[in-house]
A = this chain, B = another copy of it.
Amino acid sequence: MTRAAEQASSLDLVFGALADATRRSMVERLRKRPLTVTELAEPYAMSLNAVSKHAKALERAGLIRRHIRGREHSCELERARFDEAMHWMSYYSEFWSSRMDALEKHLLEKRRRERKG
């Protein structure tokens, strides 16, 4: 990060984006299908402008992608983007790390069985 003390790191942006309840709610709704900014705004008691800003924050963090078709901006969840943060966190969670360990063991075992038989 040469001139980038100024620019937030990727994890800063992802966690920062998820630290807001409105944005988490948006992510939840985008899980089902893409939504335009206007559709996104519908449930919230705030201006379209505010929603537009939230969408931009999610986009900056890479958590959504935007497809512009005419005047409509369709916002789509970028599921892969969650992995980085999940991976970071997994080091600190007993629950998940133990489950991941179990899974790794399972996969190794399976591979071993498959090689044999």
Q: Which of B19, B82, B100 meets A89, CB within 8 Å?
A: B82
The dominant DSSP class at the A interface is helix
For residues 101 through 117 of chain A, which have their beta carbon under 8 Å from a beta carbon of chain B? Answer: 102-103, 106-107
Q: Is there a chain B Cβ closer than 8 Å to A50's Cβ? A: no
Number of interface residues, chain A, beta carbon within 8 A = 35
**From residue A87, how far is it (CB to closest CB) to chain B in Å?**
8
Number of copies: 2
Q: Let me know if A95 and B86 touch, CB within 8 A.
A: yes
Whether A90 touches B94, Cβ cut-off 8 Å, given contacts A12-B19, A19-B16, A24-B11, is no
Max chain B Cβ within 10 angstroms of own Cβ: one of A16, A82, A83: A82
What is the bound-complex CA distance between A79 and B91, given in angstroms?
9
